[in-house]
Structure 1
Amino acid sequence: MQHMNTGPDAEKLLNRIRTRDFTIGIMGLGYVGLPLAMSSLEAGFRVIGFDIDQSRVALLNRGESGIKHLPGPAIQQAVESKRFRATSDFSELSMPDAILIAVPTPLTRNREPNLSFVENSARSIAERLRPGQLVVLESTTWPGTTREIVRPLLEATNLVVGKDFFLAYSPEREDPGNEVHTTTSVPKVIGADEPSSLEVAQALYSQIIVRTVPVTSTATAEAVKLTENIFRSVNIALVNELKVIFDRMGIDVWEVIEAAKTKPFGYMAFYPGPGLGGHCIPIDPFYLTWKAREYEVATRFIELAGEVNTNMPHYVVDRLVEALDRRARRGLNESRILLIGMAYKKNVGDTRESPSLRLIDLMERRGAVVDYHDPYVPEIPATREYAELAGRRSVDISADRLASFDAVVITTDHDAIDWKTVVEGAKLVVDTRNVCARFHVSAPNVVKA
């Protein structure tokens, strides 16, 4: 493995990228970092993965992905060929030619940005930073993070961006489980605050991703990512609110949306649900609202969307209570409820910010006895907010088991589930995803929520 010993010579680095005599380090090997690692391997680069979770490191070094929608054979082959390995030894950060940071950026309990993972990553890099390396932040964050947080930490080494090393921001655009829009097929936005960093970062990503989209600064690239997710948050909030209004009017919001989307211009279909999940949409808008306070700008529209989406689990529970009262002549207290779907979206095992966690909490606070079924989530992982749910295991959905519940609540529309069996076996079905109608399963015991 060759390394430069002097300040960055962009032309030499560009040539090494073109010839694949280049090693990429990826910090964070989860739902963003691991697909990026696999795409980099497919493009012919060597990859070193860094993660603080030693069990995850061991899993990957055995050639197993640990993420159901990501195939293991590609990792196994890369491990066997010595082109990929994972490590929790951050002293090896001096080895890669480029370090791509893909670590979580959660919110604090007070819904303010928690950049501890980014800051710790930057400090770890700074301790081993050498001339000629490229550092790229991919984690979603507020505009200015790369320039105001990451750059000072790296330049505290007396190495200077553009003179001694390169620094850029390129937001991840990962959609777990999406087989059409994959890591490599989605254009990559890249921003840097000086031209040589932009040139080198763009050269690297252009070898991995179908197309790069350069912008004028790291802050602009950071704003792009927030804009994408705020757009989705606001539009999902709109259809969630319409769902509540139309339900009161006796109108099926899903039928409305299907008809509206036949218009070939001026409309884009978004769909309601039991609440927002995933790492991006429930969290990212608050990164901008927090930063906007520095500029004394109110973000009423964004915050209102957050309120609407956050309230949806409460709406679902209210609909469940109403359905139990009308159809079973009983309340939620001591009712046995089966929740189908622990993942936040279909066909993946990702439970980050899943509304199902909130739904279980709300139902049990009102005295319900709740089980869940999810073929992608055999056991609920530990979370900070719902620690008491960790370790609960998915139950089967045999006909006898279904009949033992007072109601079934559908929160995730996995394709692998036999929805006909669910509807035929359950006394009452509360469908938050319109899955029964989409699979052409209609019955008097199905209530939409």
Structure 2
Amino acid sequence: MTDWTQASIAKLKSRESLIGIVGLGYVGLPLMLRYNAIGFRVLGIDIDTDKVAKLNAGESYIEHISGQHIAKARASGFEATTDFRRVSECDALILCVPTPLNKYREPDMSFVIDTTDALKPYLRAGQVVSLESTTYPGTTEEELLPRVQQSGLVVGENIFLVYSPEREDPGNPNFETRTIPKVVGGHTSACLEVGVALYEQAIDKMVPVSSTKVAEMTKLLENIHRAVNIGLVNEMKIVADRMGIDIFEVVDAAATKPFGFTAYYPGPGLGGHCIPIDPFYLTWKAREYGLHTRFIELSGEINKAMPEYVVGKLVDGLNEKGKSLKGSRVLVLGIAYKKNVDDMRESPSVEIMELIEAKGAVVAYSDPHVPVFPKMREHHFELTSEVLSAENLATFDAVVLATDHDKFDYELIKSSVGLIVDSRGKYRAPAEHIVKA
């Protein structure tokens, strides 16, 4: 063990290290709060000047993270900055930046590469750099390693490189940053030791693995497992519907088996920053090895087709009432990608809205977590959330339940609307004006 390794571990264990969180979104912000809460000094680094200004004013921009927590962190030493020169002050740098897909469904590594390039001039001996962004196996070695060593630093000797995938589940009250086990892979054994020392202060259980590639593949397997199983149950939904069977009743019944079955429920498609995107990172990388990931690609096709399936059910429901979709007023309930959060990333609800509008209907939405339709890179609606009163609901020809937030008054909706297209299985009892989708 080098002197640098011992010194880094000792500083982390004594909680004297300054932790730098690069990227202050749904992953970076909870991590910042956790390190701050246990007595570390934390510096947040982000290129978004609005985010930095809000955080320094003690305000939150994520619904499930309260402004009180941010204000408390500020009062106890947390600071946010857009100045990458301050990287040199940090003893640990944790990268929590986006890894989206481009229009060809290929990995867009620009955020990771640009961030690493921005850090590069200010890296110094004694630091540990950890990437948390979901990515393809080999990213840490291929993209971060040469950049970190470009100035003459040697990874494993005087600077340490690890990959530790984020496992946040926004809005899930059963888990928090501290209680979700942390997978950590290091480029060398010394890197792993320092990486474990970094995270074991803040997380209850460590899961060390033999390399950064194993850690990268672990994260992909977790998300591919969900994507494939959701694709399976979405396909089963279509078959069950054709046979006149309620797929939600089937899944509930199957879930009573105490072994060998995990319940996955169908929906209007996949959303969020992980499940719709991450499987394609492995698909893309597998091509380099001459392999085709058929399960992944098939599940992707099925899940991608779900918004059109829901709109097809809407067309059928209106048709039964002697109406066309063109010219109808349609309200989409819930535009966040999952219940009880304000996260809009990759939300299938937005695609449903676009499909409805493209077919000539007037589309509106209601979401208690998203009062104003946000600015998005690929989607544009000048809309605000509709009030759910009996009078207002009665002005719509149909309602599409896309995200089943707990704050919705489902009985009011049921009694006030002539047609409900339910993509979440919220209404189990059959009713003439409810179409299962």
Question: With structure 1 as the length reference, what TM-score do the two structures score?
Answer: 0.95
CA distance in 1, matches of 2:383, 2:175: 33
Q: Which residue of 2 aligns with 1:415?
A: 406
- Does 2:234 align with 1:234? no
Classify the secondary structure of the residue corresponding to 2:179: coil
Q: Which residue of 2 aligns with 1:34?
A: 29
Q: Which residue of 2 aligns with 1:356?
A: 349
One of 260, 265, 270 as aligned partner of 2:264: 270
- Does 2:68 align with 1:68? no
- Does 2:319 align with 1:325? yes
CA distance in 2, matches of 1:345, 1:78: 28
Q: Which residue of 2 aligns with 1:144?
A: 138
- Does 2:432 align with 1:444? yes
Give, as a single letter, the amino acid of the residue that structure 1 aligns with 2:313: R
Distance apart, 1:442 and its partner CA: 6.1
One of 129, 132, 138 as aligned partner of 1:135: 129
CA distance in 1, matches of 2:318, 2:245: 21
Give, as a single letter, the amino acid of the residue that structure 2 aligns with 1:210: D
Distance apart, 1:384 and its partner CA: 2.3
Give, as a single letter, the amino acid of the residue that structure 2 aligns with 1:282: P
CA distance in 2, matches of 1:9, 1:50: 25
Q: Percent identity?
A: 53
Residue 337 to residue 195, structure 1, CA distance change in 2 (3 Å): same
Aligned residues: 436
CA deviation string 1:274-324 (max 9, x = no partner): 000000000000000000000001111100000000000010000010011
Alpha carbons 1:8, 1:132 under 8 Å: kept? no
CA distance in 2, matches of 1:294, 1:103: 25
CA RMSD of aligned residues (A): 1.1
Give, as a single letter, the amino acid of the residue that structure 1 aligns with 2:340: N
Alpha carbons 2:5, 2:157 under 8 Å: kept? no
Give, as a single letter, the amino acid of the residue that structure 1 aligns with 2:228: V
Q: Which residue of 1 aligns with 2:218?
A: 224
Structure 2: which 5+ runs fail to align?
none
Alpha carbons 2:404, 2:424 under 8 Å: kept? yes
CA distance in 2, matches of 1:85, 1:435: 43
- Does 2:306 align with 1:312? yes
Classify the secondary structure of the residue corresponding to 2:104: coil
Q: Which residue of 2 aligns with 1:339?
A: 332
One of 82, 87, 97 as aligned partner of 2:81: 87
CA deviation string 1:27-59 (max 9, x = no partner): 111101101111111222111111111011111
Distance apart, 1:153 and its partner CA: 1.2
CA deviation string 1:68-122 (max 9, x = no partner): 11122121012122x2011111111111100000000000011100000000111
Give, as a single letter, the amino acid of the residue that structure 2 aligns with 1:340: L
CA distance in 2, matches of 1:104, 1:433: 28
Residue 200 to residue 447, structure 1, CA distance change in 2 (3 Å): same
CA distance in 2, matches of 1:174, 1:16: 26
Alpha carbons 2:422, 2:435 under 8 Å: kept? yes
Alpha carbons 2:8, 2:127 under 8 Å: kept? no
CA distance in 2, matches of 1:442, 1:29: 45
Q: Which residue of 1 aligns with 2:416?
A: 425
Classify the secondary structure of the residue corresponding to 1:184: helix
Classify the secondary structure of the residue corresponding to 2:44: strand
Alpha carbons 1:8, 1:131 under 8 Å: kept? no
- Does 2:285 align with 1:291? yes
Distance apart, 1:209 and its partner CA: 0.5
Q: Which residue of 2 aligns with 1:113?
A: 107
Give, as a single letter, the amino acid of the residue that structure 1 aligns with 2:48: D
CA deviation string 1:394-434 (max 9, x = no partner): 11111111000000000111111111111111111111111
Distance apart, 1:444 and its partner CA: 2.9
One of 190, 194, 202 as aligned partner of 1:200: 194
Distance apart, 1:251 and its partner CA: 0.2
Alpha carbons 1:105, 1:118 under 8 Å: kept? yes
CA distance in 1, matches of 2:211, 2:10: 24
One of 150, 161, 182 as aligned partner of 1:156: 150
Classify the secondary structure of the residue corresponding to 1:363: helix
Question: With structure 2 as the length reference, what TM-score do the two structures score?
Answer: 0.98
Q: Which residue of 2 aligns with 1:22?
A: 17
Alpha carbons 1:344, 1:352 under 8 Å: kept? yes
Give, as a single letter, the amino acid of the residue that structure 2 aligns with 1:329: G
Give, as a single letter, the amino acid of the residue that structure 2 aligns with 1:304: L
Distance apart, 1:382 and its partner CA: 2.0
- Does 2:393 align with 1:393? no
Classify the secondary structure of the residue corresponding to 1:330: coil
One of 359, 367, 370 as aligned partner of 1:374: 367
Distance apart, 1:8 and its partner CA: 5.8
CA distance in 2, matches of 1:435, 1:31: 27
